[in-house]
Amino acid sequence: MSPRIDEKEITDATAVSSQIVEWALLAIRSWRLLVAGSLLVGLFGVTGGLLWPKIYTSTTTLQTNEAGARSAAEIIGSPAVLNNILTKYPDLPGATIDEQRERLALRIRFEVSPGETRRTANLFYLRVEDRDPVRAQSISNIALDTLFELVKPRGRDRAVLEERLARFEGELEKSDEVIKRIEVEATSLIMPNSLQGEVATSIAGLRDKREKLAEEVSKIRRELRGAPTRDIVLTAPSLPVEFRWSRVSVLLFSSAPATLVLLLIYVVLFRPIVIEIVRRCNAPD
């Protein structure tokens, strides 16, 4: 028994095929409009895209953990750092100071090293984008300089640390002088086979005290530098050479295919309607 043929399905399929053929014929008849329009818009789009400012990215490699990177990112994104950058570059985009800070903050970002997770990573990248490669590098340097300056202790806290540092450095210097004098005069101070062991014990005790003083001096110096310190900068901000196209350039480059699609829609769907309306308007009553 042969399958039953649904006449409605055949009619619908024929109608669809006819419509597709009709659209194809309309597009073929309007090929001059499609080609000329796409080429004209594409020419302006490509020219505009090439002339539109490109984006350069300066990169700084930081060796730190997640907490250090998060702390650095929060400080660099703060108004204190952003205002310092805007002091040198007041012509950055933005109608108001708040808008300038907001747009500047979007150009600065922290990224984790590829292949690592943020929680376990010890390498992070500070990236700064700008249309001027020299300015991108300069903004990175200003941001880092301001960061390391802001984390240093200030006021009374700094005065107390500096006082302690001066006291311990003085004691360390005296300790070095005493150890050196004893080591030089040890032979003349004692008789052979008499108090050599006691002198050696005394020098060892002085050296232990000296090491503790040196550790304390180093600790205070680290506190005066603040945290994070410049030690986390593995590579200085780069002067970018390569660039990427801005979003505006990408949109301009894509104007030709977008125009072709819009013209196809016009030719296939709207042009017949427009022609029919014009024909009826011009027809005699």
Which pLDDT belongs to residue 237? 94
Residue 235: its H or E element = strand 233-235
pLDDT digits (tens, 9 = 90+) for 25-65: 766 777 677 677 777 777 777 777 676 778 999 999 998 88
Task: Please give the average per-residue pLDDT across 135-157, as a whole number.
Answer: 85
- What is the rounded CA–CA span in Å between residue 173 and residue 138? 41
CA distance 2 to 48: 64
Burial degree of 236 (CB within 10 A; 0-12, 13-18, 19+): middle
Q: Given this model, what pLDDT does residue 200 score?
A: 58
**Which residues on neighbouring strands pair with residue 152, listed in sequence order?**
none
Task: Find the mean pLDDT for residues 147-157.
Answer: 74
**What is the fold of 55-151+231-248?**
Bacterial polysaccharide co-polymerase-like (3.30.1890)
Token pair, residue 144, equals 């880092």
The pLDDT tens digits of the residues spanning 245-262 come to: 777 677 776 777 877 777
Before 228, cis peptide (omega within 30)?
yes
Alpha-carbon distance values, 282 to 109, 266, 269, 285 (Å): 63, 22, 21, 9
